[in-house]
Structure 1
Amino acid sequence: MKTIAIIPARGGSKRLPEKNTKLIGNIPLLAHSILYAKQNSAIIDEIYVSTNDDKIKKIALEYGAKVIHRPESLSGDLEPTVTALKHVLEAIEEDVENVILLQATNPLRPENLLKDAFDLYLKGNYDSLFTVSRNHQKFGKIIEGKFVPFNYEIGQRSQDLEPLFFENGLLYITKSQKILNDIIISKNAFPFEINHIFASVDIDTQEDFDYAQYLYKNK
């Protein structure tokens, strides 16, 4: 049973130019996910970076990942992540059972997260797993200039809210056959709950990047 990690990392980010090559603690953003995968070599057999960018390719090779060149037709802003994963599987033509998606924009992960999640994934015989975190905020909609609560009643204490969760992007595990059918999160995917400060890091803007820098230095 072969398990590979795929890290999609295209060039051309608009909100934070060249974000995948920017340094967090003297390490390129992309490389944090590569190093995390290498730390889990007992689970991960090969590490692939999917990219259309020469600078990203160079960094990936320097840190020990294999590179799959992603065509520009699969590198647009609106292109879903699953097409990059599917392209890698089709390009390597190997017998892969499981794919672990590590997003470069989530560079900080708890040390034992993958081990704990993968053990559960195997024991539960799931075809996909993804990480979620509890949200304690009070949400609402603005309708015709008025605020309408969504998940609470005015005056209700936050600790009494019905639990809501968000997809935090730290980790995805999926059977390769699902990805070949354009699916990352299947209908019976297991939501693996992880409530950790790193779950709040998903880098799209300079503010996100500065926050990640702060956590890396202090946590």
Structure 2
Amino acid sequence: MKTIAIIPARGGSKRLPDKNRIPVGGIPLLVHSIRYALANTAIVDEVYVSTDDETIKKIALDYGAKVIDRPKLISGDLEPTISALKHVLETVETEVENVILLQPTNPLRSENLLKEAFEIYQKDNYDSLFTVSRSEQKLGKINNNLFVPFNYTIGQRSQDIEPLYFENGLLYITKASLILEDIIISEKAFPFEVNHIFAKVDIDTQDDLDYAEYLLEKFKD
């Protein structure tokens, strides 16, 4: 059975129009994820882009990915990612065991990230894995115009605060059978910790794009 990579890349975007097609480092944003998947052929058998956009479809095909035409019905702003993943699995004519989700809005990933994550996923027989990063911030809530600390006490040193983690979106690995049950991250999913600066890039605004461009230049070979 196969391991496939799926890159959901619809055409619409309100905050940053056509963001999946915007050049970042000289190539369209979604191409970074396509190239990353294609660079890991020891793990990934096929690379699919799910899209409702003809321009994105052409870009994906030009850069070596296969394309699944996503119906408009599951291409809206409020439609969850799982809908696109399920549609791909229900469309492809092959038996899939594992799905690697690569979000195009997270274009920067370290070279060995997928290899290291997939080894843990297989070795310990997890049904899903996702990447997380530690938050170094002092977090709290505002209730009745008062700040209420959440993970620390006022005056506590930053290095002593309770460790909290956030889902950074870099990488997800899930059994295909779970996705067909509307699950990407299971209750027993392994949280793979990534504290590289790339984990802070999730493109939704022009400032995010500019930051990605800066990092690409900084870390280029």
TM-score (norm 2): 0.98
Which amino acid is the alignment partner of residue 52 of structure 2? N
Alignment of 1:100 onto 2:105: no
Q: Which residue of the partner structure matches residue 82 of structure 2? A: 82
- Between the aligned partners of 1:47 and 1:83, the Cα distance in structure 2 is 17
Q: What is the 5 A alignment of 1:60-139?
A: 60-139=60-139
Alignment size in residue pairs: 219
- Between the aligned partners of 2:31 and 2:155, the Cα distance in structure 1 is 46
Which amino acid is the alignment partner of residue 139 of structure 1? L
- Offset, 1:17: 0.5
SS in 2 for 1:97: strand
SS in 2 for 1:141: strand
SS in 1 for 2:210: helix
- Offset, 1:67: 0.3
- Between the aligned partners of 2:94 and 2:14, the Cα distance in structure 1 is 34
List runs of 5+ in structure 2 lacking aligned partners: none
- Between the aligned partners of 2:188 and 2:140, the Cα distance in structure 1 is 28
Q: Which residue of the partner structure matches residue 45 of structure 2? A: 45
Q: Which residue of the partner structure matches residue 151 of structure 1? A: 151
- Offset, 1:160: 0.2
Q: Which residue of the partner structure matches residue 199 of structure 1? A: 199
- Between the aligned partners of 1:138 and 1:76, the Cα distance in structure 2 is 35
- Offset, 1:93: 3.1
Q: Which residue of the partner structure matches residue 19 of structure 1? A: 19
- Between the aligned partners of 2:165 and 2:76, the Cα distance in structure 1 is 29
- Between the aligned partners of 1:204 and 1:71, the Cα distance in structure 2 is 23
**Alpha-carbon deviations, 1:130-177, whole Å to 9, x = none?**
000011100111111111111100000010011100000000000000
Aligned residues with identical type, % of pairs: 73
TM-score (norm 1): 0.99
Q: Which residue of the partner structure matches residue 54 of structure 1? A: 54
Q: Which residue of the partner structure matches residue 35 of structure 1? A: 35
- Between the aligned partners of 1:102 and 1:12, the Cα distance in structure 2 is 18
- Offset, 1:25: 1.3
SS in 1 for 2:167: strand
Which amino acid is the alignment partner of residue 59 of structure 2? I
**Alpha-carbon deviations, 1:46-81, whole Å to 9, x = none?**
000000001100100000000000011100111010
List runs of 5+ in structure 1 lacking aligned partners: none
- Between the aligned partners of 2:70 and 2:41, the Cα distance in structure 1 is 25
- Between the aligned partners of 2:120 and 2:151, the Cα distance in structure 1 is 30
- Between the aligned partners of 1:31 and 1:99, the Cα distance in structure 2 is 19
- Offset, 1:94: 1.3
- Offset, 1:197: 0.2
- Between the aligned partners of 2:45 and 2:148, the Cα distance in structure 1 is 50
- Offset, 1:83: 0.6
- Runs (4 or more) in structure 1 with deviation over 4 Å come to none
Over the aligned positions, Cα root-mean-square deviation in angstroms equals: 0.6
Which amino acid is the alignment partner of residue 132 of structure 2? V
